[in-house]
Amino acid sequence: MASRLASLLLLRRPTAVFLDIQSQHGDLVEAVVPFMGESVTDRTLANFLKKPGDRVEADEPIAQIETDKVTIDVASPEAGVIEKFIASEGETVTPGTKVAVISKSAVPSEAHVSPPEETSQKETPPPPAEKDKVEEKSPKVEPVKKQEPKLTTPPLKSSSSEPQLPPKERERRVPMPRLRKRVANRLKDSQNTFAMLTTFNEVDMTNMMKLCSDYKDKFVEKHDIKLGLMSCFVKAAVSALQNQPVVNAVIDGDDIIYRDYIDISVAVGTSKGLVVPVIRDTD
């Protein structure tokens, strides 16, 4: 029994010496990703709440971790100043991953900036007489007006047969959070697996039917085609998308693309078959 106790004491002695050396020769502590349960296997460092050089208190959040189910904070273990970030935003992390290094004895970066000396650095203004002479000697410089170059050739016009794709500057690509990505996957799996139920709502179309009846003959004379209800449905869809622009978005990989334009496709039966042309900028 005595020999077993002696061996245990010998095994524990190096650990105690290491902790003592660390406390004497360094004041740096590390903020790590906490443990979140065995079912949570994948985590992403969403964003930092602080910057290097900021002062933080003990248990103050400095970063956020996103999972498929919840968003949690990474807290500072000690009070101090953030020296640097080890991980980066968007990186996949695991429990125990080092996120930041915190110095317990450092001074915040704002304290290093010394206030400017006002009394010693001020320049004495010149006397009024000398000031007038300086203004007389200095010639007035007028800004040179730049002439805009004239276009000698008109811009090339694309043919009507070429498809006109919407410009990329009218789209906003936003990365999906992990929680929203999981919801999108589950909804798509549900659509592919289970039977979908369709509901119908009745709408009063009296005014719309009267409009088509009043102008059907004039419309045929002018355009050689009957006036149907499809244009009214397109107009209603445009009004709905203008009222709720978030609906006018698509998922591309791990990103959501929000569109600042409204293009609507309409199925048309032709002699060659069913085609779906796209009406650009219906708004």
pLDDT tens-place string over residues 93-137: 888 889 999 998 877 765 444 444 444 454 555 555 554 554 555
Is residue 282 pLDDT above 50, yes or no?
yes
Contact status, residue 32 vs residue 43, Cβ threshold 8 Å: no
What topology is assigned to 168-279 in CATH?
Answer: Chloramphenicol Acetyltransferase (3.30.559)
Query: What's residue 1's pLDDT?
Result: 52
Protein fold of 22-109: OB fold (Dihydrolipoamide Acetyltransferase, E2P) (2.40.50)
> What pLDDT score does 153 carry?
42
Task: Give the model's confidence band at 237: pLDDT under 50 very low, under 70 low, under 90 confident, else very high.
Answer: very high
pLDDT value of residue 12? 45
Identity of the highest mean pLDDT range in 21-35, 153-167, 200-214: 200-214
Query: What pLDDT sits at residue 192?
Result: 86
Strand partners, 72: 65
Please give the model's pTM, rounded to 2 decimal places.
0.44
274 neighbors 268 (Cβ within 8 angstroms): yes
The percent of residues above 90 in pLDDT, for the chain, comes to 26
The DSSP annotation for the chain comes to: -HHHHHHHHHHHHHHHHHHHHHHHH--EEEEEPPP--TT---EEEEEESS-TT-EE-TT-EEEEEE-SS-EEEEEPSSSEEEEEESS-TT-EE-TT-EEEEEESS---GGGGSPPPPHHHHPPPPPPHHHHHHHHHHSPPPPPPPPPPPPPSSPPPPPPTTS--PPPGGGEEEEEPPHHHHHHHHHHHHHHHHSPPP--------HHHHHHHHHHHHHHHHHHSS---SHHHHHHHHHHHHHH-GGGSEEEETTEEEEESS--EE--EEETTEEE--EETT--
Model confidence pLDDT, tens digit, residues 16-67: 333 333 333 468 899 998 887 666 667 888 889 999 999 999 889 999 888 7
Confidence of residue 268 (pLDDT cuts 50, 70, 90): confident
Mean pLDDT, all residues of the chain: 76
Sorted by sequence, the CB contacts under 8 Å of residue 238 that are 6+ apart come out as 262, 264, 282, 283
- Both tokens of 109, joined, read 């970066």
pLDDT of res. 124: 54
Provide the token pair at 185: 């996957």
* Domain residue spans of the chain: 22-109, 168-279
The dihedral through the CA atoms of 116, 121, 125, 130 has a sign that is negative
Chain centroid to CA 153: 41
- Give me the percent of the chain exceeding a pLDDT of 70: 67
Confidence of residue 236 (pLDDT cuts 50, 70, 90): very high
pLDDT at 265: 92
